[in-house]
A = this chain, B = another copy of it.
Amino acid sequence: MSVTQISSIGEFGLIRRLTEKFPLTNSSSLVGVGDDAAVLDYASKQVLVTTDLLLEGIHFDLVYVPLKHLGYKAAVVNFSDIYAMNGRPKQITVSLGVSKRFSVEDLEQLYDGIALACKQYGVDLIGGDTSASLTGLTISITCIGEGEKDNIVYRNGAQPTDLICVSGDLGSAYMGLQLLEREKIAFSGNESATQPDFDGKDYILQRQLKPEARKDIIEALEKAGIKPTSMMDISDGLSSELMHICSQSKTGCRIYEDKIPISYQAAVMAEELNISIVTAALNGGEDYELLFTVALSDYDKVIPLEGVSIIGHITKPELGLHLVGREGEEIELRAQGWNSLQE
């Protein structure tokens, strides 16, 4: 593969080369890259804005994260925040800080991943800023989306007796990360090591390296005529997100350990690494599944939804936040996870 120094094409050349693969496709995207600001028309819709800053060495490790995957994930996690408002992502801006270590082709790989995510989710790249950095790679993404005034779902609308639901399964992304970290250590300083064996672990790896935002769930909820009473995406872990919803809604909650959806591969990996899979599900984070509450009266509508699990219910605030274990024991949910009664 050819290697082009960024300095050889200059900042404007770089921006042109990276952004030329991004046509504007949304009617709300009037003008994208190339002026002092992008111009959007949201007509009667409300505008949703979310932003994320990703720093090399803190949020990602290029030893095991391919740049294309990184670009895809960086975009998707922002889309996820917009879906978590019951909105639809429409535009992103991407700013990069790049050290000399990176070539134009490296950045093209990163943008290929962003482009794939944009295509997959129908989002337009409308701007950004590209600059040199002294060390490493910095990615800052802002995502803008639309919501209908009466359909935006906040974190503060949960009510006692509401059902607590999650999409997909939890803990897989965390187990994928543990696997990658293990292989990285096994590899370091071991020149004779063969390629790591990821057989039968493809699902947890994909959950870590190439997560998806749950556009499908948002669409399924709409089709089923369900408007959640509260919603957020699970980026820090179920426990932490439940605390946000309960604190903003001024409620308590009770969830059941045996209802938490776990993938087979994550469970096997947890056993292999001697990690509690429930702890991984509660605190692992990065699953980008949706956590939402629905009125009890929507029970019959929720049940048929594929990929949605009811894991508990909202309670009055004075009952606190609890996980009910497999033996019926009550464990308090804590800020940085959960402490069993035995600890």
With A51-B129, A52-B95 already in contact, the answer to whether A138 and B135 are too (CB < 8 A) is no
Minimum CB–CB distance for A274 against chain B, Å: 28
A44-B43 Cα distance, complex, nearest whole Å:
6
Residue from the set A35, A126, A136, A144 with the largest chain B CB neighbour count within 10 Å: A35
Closest to A235 in B: B36
A81 at the interface (CB under 8 A from B): yes
A133-B139 Cα distance, complex, nearest whole Å:
12
Partner-binding segment picked from A83-91, A102-110, A160-168:
A83-91
With A95-B51, A138-B53, A144-B49 already in contact, the answer to whether A36 and B127 are too (CB < 8 A) is no
Closest to A31 in B: B154
With A37-B84, A135-B135, A155-B35 already in contact, the answer to whether A127 and B49 are too (CB < 8 A) is yes
The answer on a CB contact under 8 Å between B35 and A39 is no
**Chain A binding site: helix, strand, loop or mixed by DSSP?**
strand
Residues of B within 8 A of A140 (CB): 51, 53, 95, 138, 140
* A16-67 CB contacts (< 8 Å) to partner B: 30-31, 34-44, 46-53, 55-59
Closest to A52 in B: B129
Residues of B within 8 A of A265 (CB): none
Closest to A149 in B: B41
Minimum CB–CB distance for A145 against chain B, Å: 7
The answer on a CB contact under 8 Å between A131 and B95 is no
A248-B248 Cα distance, complex, nearest whole Å:
49
The answer on a CB contact under 8 Å between B39 and A85 is yes
A279 at the interface (CB under 8 A from B): no
A41-B138 Cα distance, complex, nearest whole Å:
30
